[in-house]
Chain A
């Protein structure tokens, strides 16, 4: 009986150790790319870092559920951006932030327009055109059907067009 308990405890310690090592490796590889992604979705470098750091903490907790840690992490980050957005809307009415850092005026116009889109559309466009993800992968990250992604991307592009042509 005691031996079983010892083995169980050893297993638990070993798995915690694996998990910590795994999260550390993932951090080295994915931290910056994820902050970039969150930056593009939220429009804020600072918020992006907070969201991604929280995502890593959650990643540690649910490590055993993540078959593909990078994809799982991305999903947590996207969800995190979403919650940030919701929180923010509760605090005060959301106004699109101008994107200050972009250098090229044309790019800035486009990014400003992007910032005025709804969160889901914006996220879908960033995942599709920045992260180069397939519609299926975007659907996975957003937790919706691929058909929805198609329409989000399509309508998003049309709205962007309309906004920059004005």
Chain B
């Protein structure tokens, strides 16, 4: 009997619950109640003003920073101290662990720097390619880019760092000891080198760079210098990672931040965050407080994860967001179209290596950071290790081939357990090698291709004679190469 009553009661209660209505002003009344209770959110700005003179700058940074304490999934918690300041996003899955955390000494001044930005706009108005010249270049090289690779331009060493969605940063030291940085986006390899060549002079700070057609000035400014307040890198076992970078950046605007990452899609995250996405890599950057910018750079994360991370941080102001969107992303640009100039083929005089040939020695013009697929100009040879691109070599003609080799023999290197092929060049080959060496200069780089793959890319300090060696092979490759070359 009571089973029947239970059932009827269940149904009657469910029906009755459906008749419940709510009045429209409910949340306002709750807020009013909260405020009347003495814990008033509106009081916060006043508190802020009272405290500001105590340590205005410290407060701004401290508000942003969160102590780590080994518990990454705690809600935002603020602290600071002699150990430095940390920022922990709350939206991050527990699979991430802190891999690296560095702080520059709080508020130690860097030299002031100036920048000039040039860009080319797509039909929709978004910046699709840009060149930003920075003197000195600390802003460009401060920890956000992978290890730079050296590039030899007009006999000088230029460091090149890049990311997977087309940003390339060049930097070098001037005669007066200052560093020049050039942040580029969407430039072809040729244009990149042309820009660098035109700026490799002592008046780089004011010189007009050799810009590709369609470029116009976007803006210029001056910064008084700031430290990188904190930098953290978080890593997951599946290789996904993200970095959180907090900069003290007086006078930074959302529009200015957009200059460093042009051509990308801007997205709204939470209320006010600017989100830039390009392929595997995502950037989020925003002005957190006047004078403070936050950047989240992630790779291998889904868009949702990056958005969740941003929600765990703090928002920027709505008006700034609206301005950013109006300027940066009138229409979304599909990722594939970002920063890829049309393939215009190799420059005149460059001979493309025959993919069917099994042995080449190729002089290298520049070594660049992967991915090589983003470099659409000239002949780019990728070097892969375990299927992953580790370097991209830009080739200059001409090159030596198997026809220039007289004899070859395979040998095991007992100290490393790898195999090598020692070869001697024909008299014609020796002459060719001399020509190539003169072209690239001492310290010049050559790539050695076996069966279409770059197996090594040594630098040559002195003119080699007729003898040479290919190292780092496995036994089968070494024996087969020696046999074919010795024929």
Say if the beta carbon of B22 comes within 8 Å of chain A: yes
Write the residues of chain B forming the contact surface with A, with a CB cutoff of 8 angstroms: 1-2, 5-6, 8-17, 19-23, 26-27, 29-30, 33-34, 37, 39, 41, 44, 47-48, 51, 54-55, 58-59, 62-63, 75-80
Residues of A within 8 A of B16 (CB): 39-40, 99, 101-102, 107, 111
Residues of B within 8 A of A10 (CB): 59, 62-63, 78
Asked whether, in the complex, the Cβ of A14 is within 8 Å of the Cβ of B1, the reply is: no
Residues of A within 8 A of B78 (CB): 7, 10-11, 14
- Tell which of A40, A158, A164 has the most Cβ of chain B within 10 Å: A40
Asked whether, in the complex, the Cβ of B6 is within 8 Å of the Cβ of A157, the reply is: yes
Q: How far is the CA of A107 from the CA of B19 in the complex (A)?
A: 13
Asked whether, in the complex, the Cβ of A57 is within 8 Å of the Cβ of B77, the reply is: no
Please name 22 pairs of A and B residues whose Cβ atoms are closer than 8 Å in the assembled complex, sorted by A: A6-B58, A6-B59, A7-B62, A10-B59, A11-B79, A13-B44, A14-B78, A31-B22, A35-B20, A39-B17, A40-B13, A45-B21, A56-B34, A57-B33, A57-B37, A107-B8, A107-B12, A110-B5, A110-B8, A111-B12, A111-B16, A130-B14
Other-chain contact of A11, B14, B30, B44, B77 (Cβ < 8 Å): B77
**Contact flags A14-56 to B (C-beta < 8 A → 1, else 0):** 1011101001100100011001110110000100110001101
**Contact flags A80-107 to B (C-beta < 8 A → 1, else 0):** 0000000000000000000101111011
Asked whether, in the complex, the Cβ of B47 is within 8 Å of the Cβ of A9, the reply is: yes
Q: How far is the CA of A158 from the CA of B6 in the complex (A)?
A: 10
Q: How far is the CA of A111 from the CA of B371 in the complex (A)?
A: 71
Q: How far is the CA of A40 from the CA of B11 in the complex (A)?
A: 13
Shortest beta-carbon distance from B91 to chain A in Å: 13
Q: How far is the CA of A17 from the CA of B45 in the complex (A)?
A: 12
CB-nearest residue of chain A to B59: A6
Given contact pairs A11-B77, A114-B9, enumerate 7 new A-B contacts (beta carbons under 8 Å).
Answer: A31-B26, A32-B22, A53-B33, A57-B30, A61-B37, A102-B15, A102-B19
Residues of B within 8 A of A161 (CB): 1-2, 5
Q: How far is the CA of A114 from the CA of B26 in the complex (A)?
A: 28
- Tell which of A6, A39, A60, A107 has the most Cβ of chain B within 10 Å: A6
- Specify the main secondary structure of chain B where it touches its partner: helix
How many chain A residues touch B (CB < 8 A): the figure is 52
Shortest beta-carbon distance from A68 to chain B in Å: 15
Residues of A within 8 A of B47 (CB): 9, 13
Asked whether, in the complex, the Cβ of A104 is within 8 Å of the Cβ of B58, the reply is: no
Q: How far is the CA of A103 from the CA of B8 in the complex (A)?
A: 14
CB-nearest residue of chain A to B41: A20
Q: How far is the CA of A129 from the CA of B15 in the complex (A)?
A: 12
Shortest beta-carbon distance from B130 to chain A in Å: 36
Residues of A within 8 A of B20 (CB): 32, 35-36, 39, 45, 48
Shortest beta-carbon distance from A151 to chain B in Å: 14
Other-chain contact of A57, B10, B17, B34 (Cβ < 8 Å): B34
Asked whether, in the complex, the Cβ of B29 is within 8 Å of the Cβ of A53, the reply is: yes
CB-nearest residue of chain A to B76: A14
Residues of B within 8 A of A54 (CB): 33
Q: How far is the CA of A57 from the CA of B14 in the complex (A)?
A: 27
Q: How far is the CA of A18 from the CA of B74 in the complex (A)?
A: 12
Other-chain contact of A61, B22, B26, B39, B55 (Cβ < 8 Å): B39
Say if the beta carbon of A152 comes within 8 Å of chain B: no
Residues of A within 8 A of B34 (CB): 20, 23, 56-57, 60-61
Q: How far is the CA of A31 from the CA of B23 in the complex (A)?
A: 11
Residues of A within 8 A of B19 (CB): 45, 101-102
Q: How far is the CA of A56 from the CA of B30 in the complex (A)?
A: 7
Asked whether, in the complex, the Cβ of B58 is within 8 Å of the Cβ of A3, the reply is: yes
Shortest beta-carbon distance from B397 to chain A in Å: 62
Q: How far is the CA of A61 from the CA of B33 in the complex (A)?
A: 11
Say if the beta carbon of A67 comes within 8 Å of chain B: no
A102-B16, A104-B15, A157-B5 given as contacts; is B63 within 8 A of A13 (CB)?
Answer: yes
Shortest beta-carbon distance from B60 to chain A in Å: 10
